[in-house]
Each structure stands twice: as structure tokens, then as C-alpha cells.
Structure 1
């Protein structure tokens, strides 16, 4: 399921063609030899396959209200795959701690099933064995710590991270590196 209004590469094309970033995504996938089938209850744009689930201006509670029926009908497999290699370096004369966090922009006083996400991430430090970290974010706790990395003065470490987030919640997802 592809949301035509989701910001991303090619999003600026929406005004002239109605395709949103789907045109960019289609062209990129086609150039790599992949075939796609856009799905959804909406049809708009000048593409040969105009299906999408874009609902401009809808709030998350409105999307959540249709998500179960749309997902059951179309069985989408779109999402965001994170494959991150980050070299953390401490140039200071004092030890530092870097914290890697996965977060969501969706916050609320109560949790709504459509606004929660949990999954596994593969985390590897300095080429060592991968460990599996369980990530769980929800509106009442929108951040999940993946790891803390203590860096001696002048030291560095390489953190490699891989995981996937389903398409319906990618818009508010983010990785954060913080120095504490």
C-alpha cells in the first residue's frame, strides 16, 4: 500500500501529475528490474497503475479506522527498511556515551493499536556478532533505546543496524543518535 501524500523523494511531483512519490518509486524499482503493483482504495495520478491509499489531510485516528479492512483486502508489503552503518567518534578529552534510539512522532495519553509498532532489529558493534534488539514504540512511550555506546577519549566504534517498519507508520519514524 503506497500513500501518495507521504513526503519523500519525488514528493514535489504530486501537484503536477497526481502521482506523488509513486512515480519516483516506480522508476527506481523498474530500473533495478523489479515489478511492483500499487494497491489501495484510491485511484489518482497519470501513472498506468494509479492505485494508492493516500488520504490527504487525514488524521491518524481516521487512517486507523480503515487500516484493518484495507490491509486485509490488499495485503501490502511496503515499508521502510533501515540499513544503517554509523561510525561514532569521540574527539573530546573526556569519555562520552552515545545513545541510539528509535522513535515515533505519534504521541498521545493512551495507546491505540494502529499507532504501535514492535519488531526485531539486528545490531552489530565493531564487526562483532549480531544481537537482536526488540523495538517497541507506542503513543504513550514513543521512544525505544536500541543501545548505549561508551566511547573513551579519542575512540570510535562502528554500529550497524538493520530492521524494517511497516508502511503505515513510516511517516513518523526516526532514528536518533544522542550524546549523553
Structure 2
């Protein structure tokens, strides 16, 4: 089943309204087993071409629980956070470690349809974004662009960079732009 937000869905696709307007009492009962595949997001392709990653219900729930609910959670998302999702949700980093962890924590999540630095900075300022999960090419944009200093991004408390290595020089330049933020990879 492919769900779209397009006004006129392509053949074989359904508009999101079929979910939002559905009568939940009419939904079929489905047995879910912990080892059933629940999602097929793509890896970043750091060792070659991106690959589909088969995530089971048990694996996905365990991963989110480990990152959010564990004794030493990796992400430290809180219900008061505003998380800016600029990454495509078909990649495992964005789906699992951003969207699902944000939902589990009860945090507000802003989803950008497509990355644009100006729009990203406007959203950070307007909505007082507290968590910014990004990737090295976006780090490069942020560190090289003179427009960043025109925006108040002081609300950002965590910056996560993933999907590819981030060199020390870029990390240091990013720290200059976000001096109050904690960084994680």
C-alpha cells in the first residue's frame, strides 16, 4: 500500500485521507508477529549503493526503546523538544532515529518535504527547534553559508550527524554556529 499527500494520487496509490477519514471499527484484524517485517527503509550506502534494510517489528521497537527509554538513551529526546526532520523518511536514520524516536518521546516534529537552508533556518528560529538531526552535506551548507548568522538558532540543544563520517574540521565549524548545542554522531 502506497500512501501519498498528492492531490491526485497516481495509479495504485491512495491519498492520506483514506487513513485520516477511515472508520477504525471497520479495519480488519491483523495478526502481527514480532519477526514480521514492518518497514524496508534504505541504508545510507556508506559502503556502496544504498540497500533496503528489513526491519522487523521486534527490531524496530527494540531500537526505539533502546534510544529513548533505556537507562542511558542515545538521543535524549524529551516531550518538550521540537525536532526538525530534514532527512528523507525512506532512510533508516530518519525513519528510526528521528521520526519514530521523536514520536516515542512525544516530541513535536517538523517535517520538511525537501531541504532548503533558508527554510531550515526560518523553521529553527520560528519554532525554536531544539533537536536537529542532519547529515554531513547539510553540515557543510550550514558552516559555509553567511546567512546562518542572520537567524536565532540558540534554541538548538542537540545536533546529530549521521549516515556518513563527519570530519573534525566540519564539526568544529558547526560548533561555532551552534555553541550551546551538544553534538552526537
Q: Which of structures 1 and 2 has the larger relative contact order (alpha carbons within 8 angstroms, sep 6+)?
A: 1
Greater fraction of residues in strand: 1
User: Highest Rg: 1 or 2?
Assistant: 1
The TM-score with structure 1 as length reference comes to 0.29
Greater fraction of residues in helix: 2
